[in-house]
Amino acid sequence: MGPFWGCTGYPQCTTTLNDLHGAPSTDIDEHYRCPICTRRLVRADKGKGNYWFCSGYSKGCKVRLADKAGKPESAYRCPGCGNLLVRREGKNGPFWGCSDYPNCKTSLKDTAKGPDFDLFTA
């Protein structure tokens, strides 16, 4: 979701901090970032709907996220191809699948916090 600061001891240390004006910070940048291209997300005019879209729309990034209490909904990148994951209902319950299906057949188990990336194998 944009630039961040990570621990030099990765992968043993997974601490990260937000990048705020080029410095590490626990504060959140007031501008939300596109999960695909990291450009700023823009809230649509109220008359057009209740959603956020990527400021890179004219450059080809067509990301559009629903508004959840004034913030864009959580979004996740597909570990297989980099497109967005979509929560879907299947015969065995909910799961996360790639938005580029059938070109990418990545699917992940659904958890209370989103897709379970720990079970992904390429």
**Mean per-residue pLDDT for 104-108?**
93
| pLDDT of 29 higher than 70 | no
* Unique residue bearing structure tokens 């990545």: 106
Say what the pLDDT of residue 104 is: 94
d(CA 104, CA 119): 17
Which burial class, exposed, middle or buried, applies to 34 when counting CB atoms under 10 A from its CB (0-12, 13-18, 19+)?
buried
Average pLDDT, the chain: 85
pLDDT for the residue 44: 86
Model confidence at 1: pLDDT above 70? no
Q: Strand (E) positions, the chain?
A: 4-6, 16-20, 23-25, 41-43, 51-54, 64-68, 71-72, 85-90, 93-98, 107-111, 114-115
- Pairing state of beta strands 93-98 and 85-90? antiparallel
pLDDT band at 91 (very low <50, low <70, confident <90, very high): very high
* φ/ψ of residue 17, rounded to 5: -130, 155
Is residue 122 pLDDT above 60, yes or no?
Answer: no
Sign of CA dihedral 113, 115, 120, 122: negative
